Amino acid sequence: MKENLKRSFAAVIFDMDGVLLDSEPIYRKIQDNFFAELGFSVSDKEYDEFIGLGLENMWKMIKSKREIPYDIPKLITMNNQKILDFIKDLNDLNSMPNLLEFLEICKKNKLKTAVASSTNLQIVKTILKKLGIHEFFDEIISGEQVENSKPAPDIFLHTAYLLNIPPDKCLVVEDSENGVTAAKSAGMYCIGFNNPNSGKMNLSRADIVVDNFYEITGMFKQ
- Residues marked active site are found at 15, 17
Tell me how far apart the alpha carbons of residues 81 and 52 are, in angstroms, rounded to a whole number: 19
Question: Cα(152)–Cα(150) distance, rounded to whole angstroms?
Answer: 4
Spatial separation of the C-alpha atoms in residues 109 and 103, rounded to whole Å: 10
Provide the angle, in degrees to the nearest 10, between the axes of the packed helices 72-88 and 55-63.
130
State CA 34 to chain mean position distance.
21
3-state SS string for 146-192: CCCCCCCCHHHHHHHHHHCCCHHHEEEEECCHHHHHHHHHCCCEEEE
Amino acid code (one letter) for 4 = N
CA–CA gap between residue 126 and residue 33 (Å, rounded): 21
H or E stretch covering 60: helix 55-63
Count the neighbouring beta carbons within 10 Å of the beta carbon of residue 110: 7
Nearest residue to 115 via CA among 98, 97, 95: 95
